[in-house]
Amino acid sequence: MRTVLFVLAAGMVIALSVWAYQENYRTQAMIGETERLQREIGEARARLSVLKAEWAYLNRPDRLRDLAEINYNDLQLLPLRPNQFGRVEQVAYPASGVLFDIENAVEVSAEEVTP
């Protein structure tokens, strides 16, 4: 009886060691995958910061003003002036109630229809 218990215990130890070995390899693989993803995220953030810098450079007011002047015949863009803007009090808001006149409306229901 004692030998059967020793054999069973040894078998359990071997089974648990195989399981722990597999888990170790899976953990190492996940750590590697996480590091790869972190590297990709860092590279994407670096690319994004470069794109933001390029966008800011291309949208400089003096550059846009020069482009508008160069392409005036095609675009007919005029420079913005403060008197072209209104105040919030001048905004006309729609009257309360019906915002849109809907024709041919379709009623939608979440209830199940039985034939």
Cα–Cα distances in Å, from 21 out to 14, 26, 111, 112?
A: 10, 9, 53, 53
In a domain, 101, yes or no: no
Look up residue 32 and give its amino acid: G
In a domain, 92, yes or no: no
Look up residue 38 and give its amino acid: Q
In a domain, 112, yes or no: no
pLDDT in tens, 71-96: 888 888 887 788 888 888 888 877 76
Domains contained in the chain, number: 1
Range of the domain at 63: 2-78
R_g over Cα of the chain? 35
In a domain, 106, yes or no: no
In a domain, 109, yes or no: no
Alpha helical stretches, state H, the chain:
2-58, 61-70, 72-75
pLDDT in tens, 14-58: 999 999 999 999 999 999 999 999 999 999 999 999 999 999 999
In a domain, 104, yes or no: no
In a domain, 34, yes or no: yes
Cα–Cα distance between 67 and 58 in angstroms, integer?
A: 11
